[in-house]
Structure 1
Amino acid sequence: MRTLRAACLFASVLASGFANVSEATDVSPSNQNEAAVARMLKEKGILAEEYLGMVYTVMERQLVVRPQYIDEDLELYDISHEGREITFWYRLKNSDAKDIDGEAVAPALRKTLVEQVCQPMKSAFNLGGSAQYRYADAKMVKIISIELSASDCP
């Protein structure tokens, strides 16, 4: 359930990021295949990496108040991006990494992320983008990291 709430927050911010950048650049990747989007960007003299960087920057600014509390245990404490990858940094505030088997929860978490993130990230994925989801415990010890890209989506 918490992953669903986090994905909904993410999807609305991502959609807003694409809308803002699409309006500013007059390039709208939604419902376009990768070749069509690449042509639109080329015509405008914009690299796909630059376009995604603009979208990701809008997302980071929209979530300026951090941490964002997803529920009583989960918080989104940072968003960063480099190149075509955006990273969401989550912390489980009441958990200890030694009590969680990241490898055991990875398949279920990946499945949920694919179900919730692939559609809103489709435009970014079609431009070669990827999303990294990093989870840490209360002491900021890594629990698990999952990366998604176009090849992960149905």
Structure 2
Amino acid sequence: MSYYYSPYECGGYQPPTSAVRLNAATGGAGPLPIITTLLADPINVVAVSIDTSGMSHPVVLLNFTSIISLPLGVSVTLNFEITRSFNGGAPVNVGSTYTFSTLVTALEAEAFGFQFFDNNLDSGLYTYSVQLSTNSIIDITPGLTVNNATLSALAVDNNPA
């Protein structure tokens, strides 16, 4: 007869634990007017907060998805940017600019999304926002909308204790 003893019962090896947190939010923008000059301020699409308190070396993966509904005859270049604020501080741009551009000949809707990996972070409360940047252009026809915009944030402790 053989007996199996779990190493956990004998004070043996303990696998590393990892702190993981997930949050998501939805939003949208529009219908938008014709935009042919620089906007005074960016247009907020969606924002999400994630608390990394207690993590020693947090990293955050952002996933943005949306449906862009386009009216007939629109010429569009939408530039999406990400801002991050830490513990309620001033927002700063992170990552690059993500561009959606098309010339529409029929009513249509197109999926648009991107991911961003944010690392070298301190532990605390982060708020991420996806915005249409001030240099976005909607020409010829008004009425474009950004629908079903979802921003999810997955935070993982990259160096669990």
> What TM-score comes out, normalization by structure 1 length?
0.27
Larger Rg: 2
In terms of fraction of residues, the more strand-rich structure is: 2
In terms of fraction of residues, the more helix-rich structure is: 1
> Which one has more relative contact order, counting CA pairs under 8 Å at least 6 apart?
2
> What TM-score comes out, normalization by structure 2 length?
0.26
